[in-house]
Chain A
């Protein structure tokens, strides 16, 4: 290769000379260790310094002191950065850099510069290069505060070429070595590729997961040196997102495309989504005939990443709720081997085309940085990382979660109203229930609202995954910010936590679980259509309850070993299939959820009764509940089993007690309690025309014993 660089156009003897020089260069390249040996003298303070074999990328040799401490890294500038002189020939300087970023010494070993080109007399060259000892190569070192700006001049016209290439060779190579050697030990954040969540377009925008760039036709005309008669219209209105994290990619692309794209990339590779409307196409037409897209490039730090047609998938439409219709959408797969690091900021360069007049580059750039919520902080000492991040954000910057809450304010409002209504129903349950038929209508309406709004629209289905996340957050340092990021889930959890303390787990299961309500609604429909319900003998029923507790404890145990595996086992919940993905999923998942719903037609809330690990997880803390507001008569269970038979989940023991671990708080039995047409006790009393005497008996005493088993 090097003899290739050296092309002589002069006499034959000079050809021979060149070949000789290039051979020497190649030979010295082969015996690089000996070459770098001269770097030992840079560390004259430690006479017993040793130099190791060069290794790593870029290649450098460690120089160690007598005590084994790393004094620095020695390298060749030609080897590290391919330094070339003004004459176009290799320029090789051996230098060493200390771990602190100071050049320990430098010595020129090969160059072919006609000295006058460099601008330094021959004898001064060695001294000039040696003078770099002590030079601080850190990026900020070149930046100094100055008080001279007011005076000027700020530049001199017609500056002369100086020995800049030599400085450049030393400093650039030293910087490459220093960065590669010092960053290896650093803890870097990882991209969160696991957390599953559906996000709407406005919330993706609010959190910065989608970035936008609008170039008006007048902006473009200015850059291209043309005129435009419709200057206010968009030349291009472009959106950019890193689609690798599921909440972004899956929300934008839909689950099918997202998962099929994910299958095409490696575990460290990334997906980048670009979409646009307007006059100008970011893809252009030439890409069909070439190996790369000419108009777009990803730029990260000093790296240019070309986008290739082979690595792209055209996308028809964005799936996230509220996303605009775009003329052109493309998904690009970017390999980690290209050097792309999705945890760090990058930008998209868009070439607006060839200017009409002689003009400078017509390029616009869109900066992108993945929001922090999609990053997993380094495992070691997360406590020290967080304050740093907090310190970085400027004080007047609104925290991310507040942005999200604002973006979802309408959904939050509806949920708030729903929760307030439910709270009202529960607190005034006796009054509400007394209205019999009205109550049933209210409940059916509420269930519909839960299914349609919480389930289908807001995707606010609580899941055992949330329980696991919460438990793990408690174990590894709880942070409010983490939970505040999803306002719907946060509000639901807050309400559920309180309601569990007050009334037990039933409030969530019976009222706020979209899948639960879906089962109940489909079952009601099935009854209307005359489908006969299967009654399970209570003894078997009671023992089948155990399954869900086993499922929960199993998932919890697995999560302590691997949270990812636990999330996979959490697929025992059909929530993701039925609610979040609306059955648009691979057939085994759809089949499973379908079977559960089918079973629910014959056995009301079949899944809730026996399988739901979330119900089990909520039932355990529900044993701490404070109120026993479900009323029973002393006679209940003795001669009348109406409530036990009509109970949605068969939570009433044949002997009459309500088992609050199973109860979903639908209040059916309470409606019966006040219903003179249904309740045997009331009917009999009416028949006897006796005044109402029996005081309501809280059933707590009964419950305790039932919970323990079947003793009574």
Chain B
């Protein structure tokens, strides 16, 4: 529905873009780290509860009984619903919540599945739901890229390997964790960190989701250096100096990647290249020694 909504807003944008001043009427709420981070909020309860529930699950290996699993899943869903339930009840937010819930479910499935293939499928579910969340936030490029790279290639390679190494019986190291307490603690701390970062005034992320974002500076047609862009950033400065100009979706991302983050992109590319060469070298050596 958000896509439709985007289109609706885009249509207004199209109507505007014909004129000279393509300055948004509604202003982006993307703010540059102006959020005061509170150390303790009520939402911090969520990672603690989740960590405890997770420990309960994994202390004896994977989940043994279905009823146990169902109870846990309901508890987690309730927690997520509790966290997200304070969002204003638009259709978009419900869809978003549904995606979030499915993503959480996929993650739980990934962690608790007995068979590796089901674990990979749980991972796929989680990734695809996150793509849905990204779609709902109008981050189309990231969503498509995630879909291609993770869901379309990485998990399929996982499945490929898992199907080859199909086991008839589960080994203990597949179902038993060495240090369930440590694992649960690390997971809870990670979750707490994320929660802390996205929390503002006792509210969690979705409240800050702003469906006017496509309508806003993010959908401006030109780059920052163009006339329209300069004008836009000037107006944004006048409204609030903390507001940041975000170029148009894909083009802006590309420009940003190859200017601001050039070094990071090149380094990541080099790492991948090294990995490829290493893989080829490994494969080659095996063939030589065996023949």
Q: Do A and B bind each other?
A: no
Query: Which B residues are closer than 8 A to A by beta carbons?
Result: none
Listed in ascending order, the chain A residues whose CB lies under 8 Å from chain B are none
